[in-house]
Structure 1
Amino acid sequence: MIELGGTQPQPQGGGDLIKDVSEATFMKDVVEASQEVPVIVDFWAPWCGPCKTLGPMLEDAVKAARGAVKMAKVNVDEAQQIAAQLRIQSIPTVYAFYQGQPVDGFQGAVQQSEIKAFVDRLVQQAGGAGAAEGDGLDEALTAAEEMVEKGETNDALQVYQAILGEDEKNARAYGGLVKTLVAMGSVDQAESVLNGAPAEIATAPELEAAHAQIALARQAENAGPVADLQAKVEANPDDHQARYDLAQALQAAGRTEEAVDQLLELFRREKEWNDGAAKTLLFTIFDALKPNDPIVLNGRRKLSSMIFA
C-alpha cells in the first residue's frame, strides 16, 4: 500500500528535460518551451498516491526520448489558478502541450506501455519520428503539395493517388489527398476517403489536420456575406455572434489570418461566450494548417498569452 503524503520523488538525471513548474514559470517552461518540442505536464499533489507511481514512469519515458519531449511537473496545491484554467478535476492528470496549446492527454495511472505510446505520438506529431524523408516518395509528396498551393488540384490528385498505390499507409499522402478534395469542393468524397484511412495512421497529425479541414469546409457551407457581417460588427462591436459569423465567412473566403484576428478579439472580449466557441474554432483552424505556419505560430502565441495572463 502506498503511503499518502510526503513529496513526489525528484527526477534523477533529467536535467532541463524535467522541471518543477510554478504559476510564475508556467508560461516560459510550458507554453513557450512547447514551441520547440512537446512538453508533457504532470499535474500532481503530495497527497496523491497514484501520482507517485505515474510520475517516475513519465520521467523514464521522457528521458528515453532523448530530448524529443520535455516534462513539467505542476503541484496543483501550489498552482491552483493554472489547474482551474485547464479544468483539472482529478489527479493525476497529464497534458501534452505543443506549439503553445494542449494537444493530447489522459487521466489516472496507466501502464508503462500506454505512456510509451503517448510519448511516441507526441514525437511523431513534432516530426521527430516516422518521417518519410529520403524514401523516394518525399519529393513526389512535396511536388503534390506545391501543386495544391498553385491550384493544380487535378494533377495533385493523381500524384497522391499514385503514392497511396505504392504506400497505402502514407499519412502525408492521405492528408494531402483529403486537402486536395476539399479544395476541389468534394467535401463528401474527402470525408469518405478520410474515414477509409488505415487504423494504424488514424491519429497521425496529417489526418488530424484533414479532419479540421473538413470541419472548416462544412462550416463554410453556411457562411454569410463578409461585407454584411463586417458592417454588423462595426455597428456593434459587442455582437459576439456577428463577429463569430464574420470569422467563419472570412475563413471560407480564404482570409484565414483575418478570421483568426476576429476570433482572438472575440476571445479577448468574452472568453466563455457560447461555451468557448471562439477558442474551439481557433484550434480547428490551427489544426488545419501546418504547425510552422506563421498564422498558427502568431495565433497560438496571442491566444496563450490571453489564456495564461
Structure 2
Amino acid sequence: MQPRNSRLNSSALRGAVDLAAVKAAGEAAQKAEQARAERARQAEAGIAPDPSAYPLVIDVTEDTFETEVVQRSTEVPVVIDFWAEWCEPCKQLSPMLERLAEEYAGRIVLAKIDVEANQLLTQQFGIQGVPAVMAVVAGQLVPLFQGAESEANVRKVLDQLILVAEQRFGVVGGAGAPAEAPGEAGPYLPEDPALAAAHEALDRGDLGGAIQAYQNVLVDEPGNTEAKLGLAQAELLRRVEGLDLATVRAAAAADPKDVEAQLKAADLDLVGGHVEDAFGRLVATVGRTFGEDRDTVRLRLLELFEVIGSEDPRVTAARGALARVLF
C-alpha cells in the first residue's frame, strides 16, 4: 500500500489500517471456529439466521473499514471493490461482483469503497486506477486484480481466494449460509511459539529480527508454508524501505536493461498491489538479460511468487510466461 508521501516503508504492506500480515492467521482460525460453533448451536436450537445480520454486500467508509473489513475478515474473506461513479468499467464489474457475492452465499463478503469519497483509504492502498479489486483475509491484504475482467476469470480468482483462505489461514466463510456440522472444520491448533515470535517482530517493524526468526523456523521445518510467506514478506519490506516511487519508476523506464532498477520497480509494483505488472516486468527483464543478471532476476521473481503464494492463478500464469522466456 502506498502512504500519502509516496514513499514505501516497513509498514507498507500493513498500512495505517494495521493489516496484520501473517500473525492474524491463528487468531482468525480460532474466531472462525467460534463463529461456526455459534451458527451450529443456533441451527440445533432451530434459530434461523437473520440475513440482515450477515449482509453480503456492504458499502465501506474510512470510519467503518476496521470493523467491516479487518475484523470481519477473521470469519470470511472480504473482497474489496474500489470504484468511482465516473468509471465506465466499474459499471460492468461492480454489479457482477455483487451478483457473485450473493451467489457464493456467504463464502465471501463484498466491501464497496467509493474512491472519491474515501481518498485516504485510496492513498493507503496505492490505488492508481479503478476498478481495482483486493481482498483481506485474516487481516492480511491480498491483491487480486485491476481493471475489467471477464466473469470466468473473476470466478477463478474468487475460487482461489476461498481455497487459500481455508488452507492457509483457516478462514472458512459461511455468514448467512447454512451452518456447518459441528466439528466439520477441524480443531483449532495453537500457533508455534517460534513462528509467533517471527510474526511479532514483523508487526513491530523489526524486519531484521523477523527475517532471522523466520529463517530459524525454516531450519527446523523447511516446508513450513507460513514461515516461507512471512520471510518473503519481511525481505520485500526491507528492500523497499526508503525507496522513492517516482524516482525508481523513472529510472526503470529510462533504461529497461538496468537490472537493479527493474528489480526495485517490481518490488514497488508488488507492494502497490500491481501484481501482474511486477511479474510482467521481471519476466521481460529475464528475456533481455543473460548469465548472472538473468539468474538474479529469475530468483527475485521466484521470491515474489512466494509473497503472493504458489496457489494464486497470477503466479501460475507468470510461471508459464517465465518458462517460455527461458526455454
TM-score, normalised to structure 1's length?
0.42
Whose Rg is larger? Answer: 1
TM-score, normalised to structure 2's length?
0.40
